[in-house]
C-alpha cells in the first residue's frame, strides 16, 4: 500500500532479549516438565534436565538484566506504564476489539508507534509479567537452585514447598502465556507481520483508514 511505511519498533537489545528469553523459556518449560513429571516423561534424565534447567535459568536471568539495563538506561521503560487517566477506556476499547471488533473487521483501536508500542492490555500484562511474575520466577528459581545456601530466605517465605509452589504456578502460567502470546502475535495485518518485526525490528505502519469504525 502506498501509505505504508516501516517503523523501527524493536531495537536490537530488545530483540536479543526477546529471542534469548523465548528460547530459554521453551527449554525451561521442557526441562521443567521433565523435572516435575519424571515418572511420566522421558525426554532427558532427571540429572540432565536439572543441569540444563539451571544453566538456562541463568541465561534467562542475564537476558532479563539486559532488558532492565536497556529500558532503564534509555528510560524507555515508560512504554510499559499505562496512562492512569486513559487506561480504563483504552482497555475496554481493546477488550471490545478482541472480543468482537476483530471478528467484524474493525481496525485495531491501538496504533503501534515506537513511543507507544503496546496497547493498554499489553501494558497491563507486561508490567505484571516483567516486574512481578518474571522476577518472582527468577528469585524462586535461584532459591531452588541452592536450597541449603538460601535456606534463611526460604524459611522467611515459609519453607521450600512454598517457594516451589510459587515457581510451579508461575511455570504453568508462563506455559499458558506462551500459547496466548504466540497466537496474539499472529493478529497483525498479516499472520507473520509481528513475528517478522521481532527479527528485523521494523513493523509496517498502516495509516488507519478514515472510516466511521476507526473513530473513537
Q: How far is the CB of 66 from other proteins (least distance, A)?
A: 27
Residue choice 158, 195, 200, 208 for contact with other proteins (CB under 8 A): 158
* Contacting range for other proteins; rule: CB under 8 A; set: 56-64, 80-88, 122-130, 160-168: 160-168
Q: Where are the beta strands (DSSP E) in 75-211?
A: 202-205
Contact track, other proteins, 171-210, x by CB under 8 A: xxx-xxx-xx--x---------------------------
Q: Does 85 bind other proteins (CB under 8 A)?
A: no
Nearer to other proteins, 18 or 181 (CB): 181
In sequence order, what are the beta bridge partners of 171? Answer: none
Q: Is 184 exposed, middle or buried (0-12, 13-18, 19+ CB in 10 A)?
A: middle
3-state class of 113 per DSSP? strand
In the block, which residue shows the cell 516451589? 164
- What are the residues whose beta carbons fall under 8 Å from the beta carbon of 192, sequence distance 6 or more? 186
47 binds other proteins (CB under 8 A): yes
Q: How far apart are CA 64 and CA 69, in angstroms?
A: 8
For other proteins, the closer CB: 162 or 198: 162
Residue 128: count of CB within 10 angstroms of its CB: 11
Note whether 162 binds other proteins by CB under 8 A.
Answer: yes
| CB nearer to other proteins: pick between 39 and 115 | 39
Looking at residue 110, the DSSP 8-state letter turns out to be -
Question: Which residue ranges make up the site for other proteins (CB under 8 A)?
Answer: 35-39, 45-47, 50-51, 54, 98, 102-105, 145-149, 155, 158-162, 164-165, 168-169, 171-173, 175-177, 179-180, 183, 211
Amino acid at each position: 500500500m502506498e501509505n505504508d511505511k516501516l517503523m523501527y519498533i524493536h531495537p536490537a537489545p530488545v530483540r536479543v532479549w526477546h529471542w534469548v528469553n523465548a528460547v530459554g523459556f521453551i527449554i525451561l518449560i521442557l526441562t521443567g516438565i521433565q523435572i516435575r513429571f519424571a515418572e511420566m516423561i522421558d525426554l532427558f534424565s532427571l540429572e540432565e534436565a536439572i543441569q540444563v534447567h539451571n544453566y538456562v535459568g541463568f541465561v534467562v536471568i542475564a537476558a532479563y538484566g539486559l532488558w532492565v539495563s536497556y529500558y532503564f538506561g534509555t528510560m524507555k521503560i515508560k512504554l510499559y506504564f499505562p496512562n492512569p487517566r486513559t487506561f480504563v477506556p483504552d482497555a475496554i476499547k481493546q477488550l471490545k476489539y478482541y472480543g468482537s471488533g476483530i471478528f467484524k473487521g474493525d481496525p485495531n483501536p491501538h496504533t503501534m508507534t515506537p513511543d507507544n508500542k503496546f496497547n493498554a492490555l499489553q501494558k497491563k500484562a507486561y508490567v505484571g509479567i516483567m516486574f512481578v511474575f518474571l522476577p518472582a520466577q527468577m528469585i524462586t528459581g535461584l532459591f531452588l537452585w541452592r536450597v541449603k545456601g538460601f535456606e534463611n530466605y526460604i524459611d522467611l517465605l515459609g519453607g521450600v514447598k512454598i517457594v516451589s509452589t510459587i515457581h510451579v504456578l508461575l511455570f504453568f502460567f508462563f506455559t499458558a502465556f506462551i500459547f496466548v502470546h504466540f497466537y496474539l502475535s499472529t493478529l497483525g495485518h498479516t499472520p507473520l507481520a509481528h513475528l517478522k518485526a521481532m527479527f528485523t525490528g521494523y513493523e509496517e505502519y498502516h495509516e488507519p483508514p478514515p472510516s466511521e469504525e476507526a473513530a473513537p
